[in-house]
Amino acid sequence: MDVPLIELQKVTKNYGSHAVLRGVDLRVRPGSVVAIIGPSGCGKSTLLRCMNFLERPDAGQLFFRGRVLGEGAEILRAHRARVGMVFQRFHLFPHLNVLDNLLLAPRVVRGEGREEAARSAHILLEKVGLSAMAGAWPESLSGGQQQRVAIARCLMMEPELLLFDEPTSALDPELVGEVLGVIRDLAEEGRSMCIVTHEMSFAREVASEVVMLDQGVVIEQGPPAQVLGNPQHARTRTFLKRVLEHSRE
């Protein structure tokens, strides 16, 4: 059995008296795609943010390639550079053009030269279908284009694990496809990822495993066909029914 790329054991997180994560166990094996689903407010984003320490878990342990993650700013930064994150609202740097958005982290964090980094940047922009947009300003791009730039920006650091937090939720419906297409390509390359999503058909198609989170606990997990096609848990069924009704509207 492979060593998991990342493994969470009994991770808990409270905001004041509000217990958001209540002992979550999760494994992402190398090359697998884990889709995290669950009703709004159940802690999906918090879980994802704990995986790259944007939030610090109150208890529990986190292993990366079998090694427990230590303390200290240095270790944290190294970890974050290995784990890429794509946000619901893109968060491109508005004061930098597309190319410089991509170049910032490699140059500043890894000290790469501009030329060298720009070469990889152009390859990645090509890959997300935006090679013509290198000089454009973020605010001049559509949401779908911005999210594809954000994905390319995150790929610049050659992350071993990609975290997507509802990457298409802020997009107009006609722009969702282009972003999902890019993510699908990445999955086909065999990249390891965690995706929080409400796009059930996409999850069914791309994910190797689906995790249903509810009120801060994993209530069900397994292959997509099982969790999405034949959910065991009543709350999973109600949740899926509601999502399905919503997407039919």
Partner 1 sequence: MLSVFLGFALASPCPTGTLTVGTDATFPPFSSKVGDQYSGYEIELGQQVATRLGCGITWVNSSFDGIFPALLSGKYDAVIASVTITDERRQSMLFSVPYMEAGQAIVQRIGDPTIPDIAGLGGKRVGVGLNTTGQYLLEPHPEVILVKYPAVDLTLSDLRAGRLDAVVGDRPVFAYMLQQSFPDLSLGTAALNSEQWGIVFAPERRDLKEAVDVALSGMVADGSLRALEEKYLGTAAATEGAASTHFRLDRLVVSLPMLALGARWTLFLSISSFLCALPMALLLAVARGSRLVLLRLPAAAWVELLRGTPLLVQVFFLYFVLPGFGISLPDATTAILALSINASAYISEILRAALGSIDAGQSEAAAALGLSRFQVLRYVLVPQAFRRALPPLTNEAIALIKESSLVSVMGMTELTRTGQELASRYADPLSIWPGVALTYFVMTLPLARLSAWMERRLSVGIRRAGD
Ligand X SMILES: Nc1ncnc2c1ncn2[C@@H]1O[C@H](COP(=O)(O)OP(=O)(O)O)[C@@H](O)[C@H]1O
**Which residue from 157, 217, 240, 243 is in contact with partner 1, where contact means CB under 8 A?**
157
**Which residue from 56, 75, 93, 244 is in contact with partner 1, where contact means CB under 8 A?**
93
**Shortest distance, CB of residue 44 to Mg ion, whole angstroms?**
5
The number of residues making up the chain comes to 249
- Cα separations in angstroms, 79 against 62, 130, 222: 11, 28, 27
**Shortest distance, CB of residue 190 to partner 1, whole angstroms?**
22
**Shortest distance, CB of residue 31 to ligand X, whole angstroms?**
25
**Which residue from 32, 46, 52, 97 is in contact with partner 1, where contact means CB under 8 A?**
52
Calculate ∠ Cα 80-65-49, nearest 5°: 35
Calculate ∠ Cα 33-35-38, nearest 5°: 170
Helix (H) or strand (E) holding 205: helix 200-206
**Shortest distance, CB of residue 16 to partner 1, whole angstroms?**
18
**Which residue from 34, 43, 45, 48 is in contact with Mg ion, where contact means CB under 5 A?**
45
User: Does position 139 bind partner 1 by CB under 8 A?
Assistant: yes
Q: Which residues in the chain belong to E strands, given as ranges?
A: 6-15, 18-28, 33-37, 59-64, 67-68, 83-86, 161-165, 192-196, 209-214, 217-222
User: Does position 44 bind ligand X by CB under 6 A?
Assistant: yes
Site residues (CB under 6 A) for ligand X? 15, 20, 40-46
